[in-house]
Amino acid sequence: MTQAPAKQSAREKLLDAAFSVIRAQGYSATSVDDLCRAAGVTKGAFFHHFASKEALAVAAANHWNETTSALFAAAPYHAPEDPLDRVLGYLDFRRAILQGDLPEFTCLVGTMVQEAYGSNPEIRDACRVSIFDHAAHIERDIAEAMDRRGMTTTEWTARSLALHTQAVLQGAFILAKAEGTAEGGAALAAQSVDHLKRYIEMLFTLEERANAA
Amino acid sequence: MTQAPAKQSAREKLLDAAFSVIRAQGYSATSVDDLCRAAGVTKGAFFHHFASKEALAVAAANHWNETTSALFAAAPYHAPEDPLDRVLGYLDFRRAILQGDLPEFTCLVGTMVQEAYGSNPEIRDACRVSIFDHAAHIERDIAEAMDRRGMTTTEWTARSLALHTQAVLQGAFILAKAEGTAEGGAALAAQSVDHLKRYIEMLFTLEERANAA
DNA sequence: GACTCGATACCAACCGGTTGGTATGTAGCG
DNA sequence: CGCTACATACCAACCGGTTGGTATCGAGTC
């Protein structure tokens, strides 16, 4: 648990470079030389730390999982006592971090898995773990919110709703990229998050009305 | 309006090949030789019909727009008199076509735009047109459904809801690819479509209750 | 209807640059 | 000394793209 000071190893520099370069260009279009240039290291350093370009992608996906886990764990939305408020707070947080250029707020593993799912199982698995692990965190709050309200539905589960939130976010990123500008794209993504939040509010509000009746 | 018989030009064969190969491998990972091999033509034919690999991508995106437009125009969901039923029917249709392998039901332009948005404006624009044109069709039915019910909301628009449907679908494809198997992925995507459909039903149902009161 | 002519569609071989990856060397440190 | 952490130089394969050429066809000419 050292807190990386000024000195950063070539490995760390390469992983950081991978985050930004791959999110901007995609995995296949990013060459090993691109990564070395962005990280300010040589090819020798690259292949000293990673057996292959593929191995770096797997390491980057795992590192992404750790980095984002820490980011969301440290986020303020966990404070509310009502788990539903935590879920809605999570969405507010996701909406709030839609800032800067597109490669800065889009998802590394969502981008990579599209290029790797068919031809590179190891990368795909690392991406899947990152996405589904993250969804599992939200699932816990959703399940607790349902539990607390005694909600029973056969139509959907906490898991399917948690995965749906991730689908909305990933899809919002695609539309943002298609839109062209960072601001316009972020606004588009924010609107999708708003729709999602409204949906979840309605799901739980209707339940409370039903219980009240 | 000739209905392509057995004879297909190299151009058509290449565009068809691009649909399947790029959806399976991504744009950057697909070489010109890959496309030629899949289409059963030579490189000479490729560069006779397309000025560059990039030009083929643009043509493929445009062709995708035409192909999918025709598919959805011919779909049965346009029959209902109530525009809301057409919107819900559209979602049923999207859910129903989640079949076969992943490259068969996922979106070409959604895949390509992720790799092209930063480095290739022409491809990005062609993808954007395809996605937003499609959304505009759904927007029309949504707007009509709102209009018919005299719905007025400042929180969302027909356009934002239409774009949200596309975000959900695109995101569902990413989760499907991450999941690993075609069946599991399709099931995951279907659940997201279900959530989306439930959301839209609730949006309009609540409005009707409010109007009734 | 035989003949040319230019345009279109396509092909096989090839080119220079880039790719992921390797072989070898070396500076610093315990 | 031996080990880690890099750097330099290099390679074969592959990349997008070009070349020079051929096969086919419809329009025009006599």
A124-142, pLDDT tens digit by residue? 999 999 999 999 999 999 9
Q: Residue B8: its pLDDT value, please? A: 77
Per-residue confidence band for B26, with pLDDT thresholds at 50, 70 and 90 = very high
Whether nucleic acid strand D comes within 7 Å of the CB of A9, the answer is yes
Residue of A105, A113, A122, A175 to mutate, interface with B, max B Cβ within 10 Å? A175
Q: Rounded mean pLDDT of B103-110?
A: 97
Q: Rounded mean pLDDT of B1-20?
A: 71
pLDDT above 60 (res B6):
no
Contacts of A121 in chain B (CB under 8 A): 180
Closest A-chain CA to B160: A191
Q: Residue B90: its pLDDT value, please? A: 98
> How much of chain A, in percent, has pLDDT values that exceed 90?
87
- Report which DSSP code applies to B3: -
A77-125, pLDDT tens digit by residue? 999 999 999 999 999 999 999 999 999 999 999 999 999 999 999 999 9
Angle at B143 between CA B137 and CA B144, to 5 degrees: 95
> How much of chain A, in percent, has pLDDT values that exceed 70?
93
Name the residue closest to the C1' of C25 by its CA: A44
Contacts of B206 in chain A (CB under 8 A): 202
pLDDT above 70 (res B211):
no
Return positions of chain D under 7 A from a protein CB: 5-10, 14-21
Residue B53's nearest nucleotide, by CA–C1', is D16
Interchain CB distance below 8 Å, B177 and A28: no
Residue of A107, A119, A129, A170 to mutate, interface with B, max B Cβ within 10 Å? A170
Q: Residue A22: its pLDDT value, please? A: 97
Whether nucleic acid strand C comes within 7 Å of the CB of A53, the answer is yes
Closest A-chain CA to B169: A171
Q: Residue B213: its pLDDT value, please? A: 56
Residue B133 token pair: 């044109």
B165-178, pLDDT tens digit by residue? 999 999 999 999 99
B38-95, pLDDT tens digit by residue? 999 999 999 999 999 999 999 999 999 999 999 999 999 999 999 999 999 999 999 9
Q: Residue A213: its pLDDT value, please? A: 56
More reliable by pLDDT, B211 or B130: B130
Q: Residue B5: its pLDDT value, please? A: 37
Closest B-chain CA to A24: B118
Per-residue confidence band for A208, with pLDDT thresholds at 50, 70 and 90 = low
C16 C1' to B24 CA distance, Å? 30
Closest CA to B110 of A167, A24, A174: A174
Per-residue confidence band for A6, with pLDDT thresholds at 50, 70 and 90 = very low
> CA of A90 to nearest chain B CA: how many angstroms apart?
18
Whether nucleic acid strand D comes within 7 Å of the CB of A32, the answer is no
CB of A32 closer than 8 Å to CB of A43? yes
Whether nucleic acid strand C comes within 7 Å of the CB of B10, the answer is yes
Per-residue confidence band for A206, with pLDDT thresholds at 50, 70 and 90 = confident
Q: Rounded mean pLDDT of A206-210?
A: 67
Its pTM stands at: 0.93
C29 C1' to A53 CA distance, Å? 30
A35-79, pLDDT tens digit by residue? 999 999 999 999 999 999 999 999 999 999 999 999 999 999 999
